[in-house]
């Protein structure tokens, strides 16, 4: 990367920070996306990015996305969460379900991550809101962290325009 490219990247990041400080994320994200050449990129966003306008903007720039799904979309979140519940495991019979497992050691802790991805078609009927978001896959990431004396468990859900490739999506989430 040349010196000018590094400065351009730094300028864009500064603009992004200023935009978020000056406005809320929902209005700042499209403005930032407009500044960037994103073709072929994977955009990762927190749950605030789960907005039809933001997703349409990403797709117009010919990029893919992985966006966190949280309770700010309660119907969709509950439906996805319930579908992935362990007592619903029987529904995975005959479903193309992509899975990736990672074990990482570092920073005085052990972290285990399971990323499960399923195509929208295999998932079944989703709340209508999901249809307007142009989703190709739904993802669940489980993390178990073992720092010094405390074990933590975390489950997160994501929506993506990428095909259900757990390794590729898991890597994008990890880099976020």
pLDDT in tens, 65-84: 999 999 888 888 998 888 88
Contacts of residue 139, defined as CB under 8 A and 6 or more positions apart, other chains included, come to 66, 115, 116, 117, 118, 157, 158, 159, 160, 164, 166, 169, 173
Backbone phi, psi, residue 171, to 5°: -65, -40
Question: What's the mean pLDDT in 112-117?
Answer: 91
How far is residue 61's CA from residue 162's CA, in Å, rounded to a whole number? 15
Share of the chain above pLDDT 70, in %: 74
Confidence of residue 5 (pLDDT cuts 50, 70, 90): very low
Question: What's the mean pLDDT in 88-116?
Answer: 76
Question: What's the mean pLDDT in 142-162?
Answer: 89
Could you tell me the pTM of the whole model? 0.80
pLDDT in tens, 137-148: 999 999 998 877
Contacts of residue 51, defined as CB under 8 A and 6 or more positions apart, other chains included, come to 26
How far is residue 156's CA from residue 46's CA, in Å, rounded to a whole number? 11
Token pair, residue 65, equals: 């996305």
């Amino acid at each position: 990367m040349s010196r000018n490219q590094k400065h351009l990247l730094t300028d864009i990041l500064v603009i992004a920070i200023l935009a978020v400080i000056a406005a809320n994320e929902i209005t700042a994200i499209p403005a930032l996306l407009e500044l960037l050449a994103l073709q072929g990129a994977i955009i990762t966003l927190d749950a605030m990015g789960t907005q039809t306008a933001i997703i349409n903007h990403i797709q117009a720039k010919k990029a893919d996305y992985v966006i966190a799904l949280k309770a700010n979309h309660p119907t969709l979140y509950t439906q996805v969460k319930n579908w992935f519940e362990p007592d619903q495991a029987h529904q995975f019979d005959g479903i193309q379900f992509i899975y990736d497992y990672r074990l990482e050691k570092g920073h005085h802790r052990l972290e285990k991550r399971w990323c499960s991805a399923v195509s929208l078609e295999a998932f079944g009927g989703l709340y209508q809101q999901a249809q307007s978001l142009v989703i190709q896959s739904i993802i669940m990431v489980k993390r178990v962290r073992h720092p010094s004396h405390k074990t933590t468990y975390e489950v997160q859900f994501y929506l993506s325009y990428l095909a259900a490739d757990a390794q590729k999506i898991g890597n994008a989430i990890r880099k976020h």
